[in-house]
Amino acid sequence: MKIKTLPIFTFIVFLIIFFVFYKGLQNSNIYVPKTEIEKDIPLFNARIFGTDNQINSEDIFINGKFYLVNIWASWCVPCRAEHSFLLDLNNQKNLEIIGLNYKDKKENADKFLNELKNPYTFIILDKDGTIAIEWGAYGVPESFLIYDKKIIKKITGPIDKDSFLKIKERIR
């Protein structure tokens, strides 16, 4: 009797281990910061693209209006994919799109905008990536929908059809 319990016990233990791994290894363990939390806009000073003027984040956003802050760079390939959506969103009356040019060269950024058109009301510069960190971003592209000085929606990665429609619904 004692000889029989050991193999059965071993078998059950292996079965449990097998199922734990079978389930566990299928989960993606890539962490993405939470996107649906309302947060205050960060405070920062930044230079406006193409000028020497500094602007404070407090002066950019006015209450009662929607803003979309879009982090982009000319070297970022997914930014090209989302650009058509940004141009489309630019036609919305109650939405202003503000660009955040991330670790980019001015001539390349100019070329990018000339080629694909400029959807931004204005663009702020982030030469060393520190302003993107204030926003809680960790890559390009990333977009933030803002209302009443609060981030109401965050899109990590390029804007696609799905998030485009969600933004449109939100600002209606």
Partner 1 sequence: MILIKYTLIFFLITNLNLVNAQDKNLQNKITKNLRCLVCQGQSVFDSDSEFANSLKIIVKQKLDDGKNEKEIYDFMKKKYGEWILYDTEFNKNTYFLWLLPILMFLIGGAIILKLFIIKKN
Q: Which residues bind partner 1 (CB under 8 A)?
A: 29-31, 33-34, 103, 128-130, 132-134, 136, 138-139
Measured from the CB atom, the residue of 103 and 168 that comes closer to partner 1 is 103
Measured from the CB atom, the residue of 24 and 64 that comes closer to partner 1 is 24
Minimum CB distance to partner 1, residue 31 (Å): 5
Minimum CB distance to partner 1, residue 5 (Å): 18
Minimum CB distance to partner 1, residue 167 (Å): 22
Measured from the CB atom, the residue of 84 and 134 that comes closer to partner 1 is 134
Question: Using CA atoms, how far apart are residues 42 and 57, in angstroms rounded to an integer?
Answer: 7
* Whole-number Cα distances in Å, 99 to 143, 159, 165: 9, 14, 20
Question: Using CA atoms, how far apart are residues 58 and 42, in angstroms rounded to an integer?
Answer: 9
Q: Where are the alpha helices (DSSP H) in the chain?
A: 2-24, 57-60, 77-89, 106-116, 130-134, 161-171
* Whole-number Cα distances in Å, 18 to 13, 99, 159: 9, 49, 39
Minimum CB distance to partner 1, residue 116 (Å): 22
Measured from the CB atom, the residue of 73 and 97 that comes closer to partner 1 is 73
